[in-house]
């Protein structure tokens, strides 16, 4: 039975029937016609639907009336988060980008200079945030964690966390997530492997051999549908026989994928003009032509908001002291307070309806193990910048899942559990919420571009969107940036490799291996056949 508060909220929503739900992509029914127009001509709500007599398009699963609620607060949310992620506490993230891929031997390094990142010297980081200081108060004991080389997890964790003694400090504000040219077989393998982690029920396959085939076919069907190469089947998440927990898991993964695709299209490099900017054809190809993908971004936004809402007292009591300037620290606390307030208004996710029943614990452990594996797959990404943001966002989502499904109100009390989360988890949580909020915000820019295009211009954009990335931007390839660009990129990487060697033997060995692979890839590219006779490659979502 639903909680009384949710029943009252539902009753309030039902007073306003969905007058135009049949014409909105924000409905349970899968849109089959005019998908692009549905997305790009949609007018977001400016007021919370459940409080005002406006058009209701329906609830997001496990939430009530939250499409409009999210739309009504997102501009303010995005504005506050944009300010928050630039503050000293939230812009510095320590991460190990040189761990080996645990699933295969990765040799698909991105040779584009945009794949590189800029690190921060430890001397620029406030001492209390450095690894030596944090490991004294945050690192759990060996009895509390399961360790692997360079990373670990606790029983309550939904992802692997980097060892605090390894890795680099990154200023996220100067290493934005955007198009890098990292496409092709390596990028394809990352996402196909992640979607294979959707296969629940493997433990039961020994008792029921048919379940193994069904789970494998289920993940394959979902992946085909989500990347736009399906056979016309309905999305796997519409299967009525699936339990709610599995549908939630699929939406979390798909929403993360769709959000990353939106960021790439919003910050796309035009090889012709040499400028960065939104690429409408890219957005149509990757997201707008598949409206359910945008729905999943809404879903993840609500999930993240609910986690921030629950964590509100902890975040409000957290010590963000950075520069020692009282005004700066007060400003950070003020913005955190505004974000928490918006999260309480829009974060209407009902986590209590999940993981119930006699198999709840088994299902939850399987859920956690799947997402932990997704976090480890990020170590296989061949582009440093892509790997960075992949690790940030999987850590952020995993932190939200832990807050919702592992921690009770007593555990969330900052007075009794001051070191509940690591600093990296807090930073990742806020930055990931910012990524989802920004995805919804930049959709407005794409809608403006679509509205400004005349009939002939719209047709041209749609035709362009049908082309793969390599056809729309022919200079982009898995081995991009030749001649002067390669020289510039190689120079930057040499500086980073020298820094890795200074920090320790493990990082130095990884840097040398990467350098050898880079040189080998660059030399091989000189003698490689262009591949034009094969035609354009398949679109990567």
Structure tokens given for 210: 């048919």
Partners of 119 in beta bridges: 170
Residues 6+ apart with CB under 8 A from 440: 70, 71, 74, 78, 297, 298, 301
Cα gap 391→389, rounded to integer Å: 5
What order of strands is seen across the sheet that includes strand 168-171? 92-95, 168-171, 119-120
Residues 6+ apart with CB under 8 A from 74: 44, 301, 437, 440, 441
Give the chain's length.
Answer: 541
Question: Any idea where the domains of the chain sit in the sequence?
Answer: 4-534
| 244-266 helix and 423-452 helix, angle to the nearest 10 degrees | 60
Antiparallel, parallel or unpaired: β 145-148 and 151-154: antiparallel
What pLDDT score does 311 carry?
96
Taken in order 386, 462, 71, 251, the sign of the CA dihedral is negative
Cα gap 278→265, rounded to integer Å: 6
Report how far apart the first and last C-alpha atoms of the chain are (Å, whole number).
38
* Residues labelled catalytic: 383, 386
Q: What is the reported pTM?
A: 0.77
What pLDDT score does 6 carry?
42
Cα gap 39→26, rounded to integer Å: 9
Q: Taking the C-alpha atoms of 515, 516, 521 and 523 in order, what is their torsion angle to the nearest 10 degrees?
A: 110
**Among 391, 396, 420, which Cα is nearest to 167's?**
391
What pLDDT score does 45 carry?
81
The DSSP H or E segment spanning 496 is helix 484-503
Partners of 94 in beta bridges: 169
Cα gap 30→290, rounded to integer Å: 9
| 423-452 helix and 384-405 helix, angle to the nearest 10 degrees | 110
Dihedral pair phi/psi, residue 170, rounded to 5° = -120, 135
Structure tokens given for 12: 């309030």
What pLDDT score does 165 carry?
73
Burial 493-502 (b: 16+ CB within 10 A, else e): beebbeebee
What pLDDT score does 263 carry?
96
Cα gap 106→33, rounded to integer Å: 40
Q: Taking the C-alpha atoms of 25, 26, 29 and 30 in order, what is their torsion angle to the nearest 10 degrees?
A: 50
| Full DSSP string of 228-290 | T---SPPPGGG-TTS-HHHHHHHHHHHHHHHHHHHHHHHTEEETTTTEEE--HHHHIIIIITS
Cα gap 317→251, rounded to integer Å: 32
Antiparallel, parallel or unpaired: β 275-277 and 151-154: unpaired
**Among 469, 393, 463, which Cα is nearest to 424's?**
393
Decide if 431 contacts 392 (C-beta within 8 A). Answer: yes
Walk along the chain (541 residues) and give the pLDDT tens digit of each residue.
Answer: 444 444 444 344 333 333 333 457 777 666 667 889 888 988 888 775 444 444 445 456 666 556 788 899 999 999 999 999 999 899 999 999 988 888 887 655 676 788 888 899 888 888 778 776 776 666 666 656 676 777 888 899 999 988 777 788 999 999 999 999 888 888 889 999 998 876 776 444 333 333 333 333 434 444 444 443 332 222 343 444 468 888 899 999 999 999 999 999 999 988 888 889 999 999 999 999 999 999 999 999 999 999 999 999 999 998 887 666 777 788 899 999 999 999 999 988 888 888 988 888 999 999 999 999 999 999 999 999 999 999 999 999 999 999 999 999 888 988 888 788 999 999 999 999 999 999 999 999 999 999 999 888 889 999 999 887 655 555 444 333 334 344 444 544 565 556 556 545 545 665 566 666 656 655 654 444 433 333 333 333 4
Three-state DSSP class for residue 197: coil
**Among 179, 20, 199, 166, which Cα is nearest to 115's?**
179
The beta-strand segments (E) located in 379-470 are: none
Decide if 258 contacts 293 (C-beta within 8 A). Answer: yes
What pLDDT score does 379 carry?
92
What pLDDT score does 232 carry?
29
What pLDDT score does 489 carry?
47
């Amino acid at each position: 039975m639903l909680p009384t508060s949710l029943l009252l909220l539902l009753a309030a929503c039902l007073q306003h029937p969905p007058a135009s739900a049949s014409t909105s992509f924000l409905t349970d029914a899968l849109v089959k016609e005019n998908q692009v127009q549905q997305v790009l001509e949609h007018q977001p709500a400016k007021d919370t639907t459940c409080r005002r007599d406006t058009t209701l398009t329906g609830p997001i699963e496990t939430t009530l009336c939250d499409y409009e609620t999210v739309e009504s607060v997102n501009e303010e949310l995005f504005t506050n988060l944009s300010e928050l992620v630039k503050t000293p506490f939230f812009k510095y993230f320590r991460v190990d980008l040189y761990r080996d891929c645990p699933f295969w031997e990765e040799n698909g390094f991105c040779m584009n200079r945009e794949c590189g990142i800029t690190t921060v010297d430890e001397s620029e980081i406030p001492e209390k945030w450095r690894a030596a200081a944090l490991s004294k108060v945050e690192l759990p004991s060996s009895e509390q964690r399961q360790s692997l080389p360079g990373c670990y997890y606790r029983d309550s964790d939904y992802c692997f966390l980097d060892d605090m003694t390894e890795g680099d400090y990154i200023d996220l504000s100067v290493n934005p997530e955007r198009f890098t040219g990292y496409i092709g077989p390596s990028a394809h393998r990352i996402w196909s492997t992640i979607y294979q982690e959707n296969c629940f029920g493997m433990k039961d396959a020994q008792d029921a051999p048919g379940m193994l085939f069904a789970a494998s076919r289920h993940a394959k069907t979902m992946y085909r549908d989500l990347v736009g190469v399906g056979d016309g089947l309905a999305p796997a998440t519409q299967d009525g026989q699936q339990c709610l927990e599995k549908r939630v898991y699929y939406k979390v993964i798909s929403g993360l994928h769709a959000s990353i695709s939106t960021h790439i299209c919003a910050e796309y490099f035009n090889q012709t003009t040499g400028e960065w900017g939104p690429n409408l054809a890219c957005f149509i190809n990757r997201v707008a032509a598949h409206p359910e993908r945008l729905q999943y971004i809404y879903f993840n936004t609500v999930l993240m908001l609910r986690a921030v809402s629950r964590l509100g007292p902890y975040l409000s009591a957290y010590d963000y002291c950075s520069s020692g300037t009282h005004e700066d620290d007060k400003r950070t606390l003020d913005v955190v307070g505004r974000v928490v307030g918006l999260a309480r208004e829009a974060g209407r996710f009902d986590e209590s309806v999940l993981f119930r029943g006699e198999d709840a614990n088994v299902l939850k452990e399987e859920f956690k193990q799947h997402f932990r594996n997704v976090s480890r797959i990020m170590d296989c990404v061949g582009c440093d910048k892509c790997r960075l943001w992949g690790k940030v966002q999987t850590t952020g989502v995993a932190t939200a899942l832990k807050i919702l499904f592992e921690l009770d109100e007593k555990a969330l009390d900052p007075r009794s559990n001051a070191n509940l989360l690591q600093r990296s988890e807090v930073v990742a949580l806020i930055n990931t919420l910012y990524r989802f909020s920004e995805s919804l915000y930049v959709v407005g820019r794409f809608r403006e571009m679509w509205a400004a295009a005349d009939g002939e211009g719209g047709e041209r954009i749609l035709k362009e969107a049908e082309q793969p990335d390599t056809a729309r931007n022919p200079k982009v390839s898995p081995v991009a940036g030749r001649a002067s660009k390669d020289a510039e990129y190689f120079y930057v990487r040499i500086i980073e490799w020298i820094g890795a060697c200074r920090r320790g033997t493990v990082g130095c060995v990884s840097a040398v291996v990467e350098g050898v692979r880079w040189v080998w890839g660059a030399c091989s590219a000189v003698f490689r056949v262009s591949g034009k006779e094969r035609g354009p490659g398949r679109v990567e979502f």
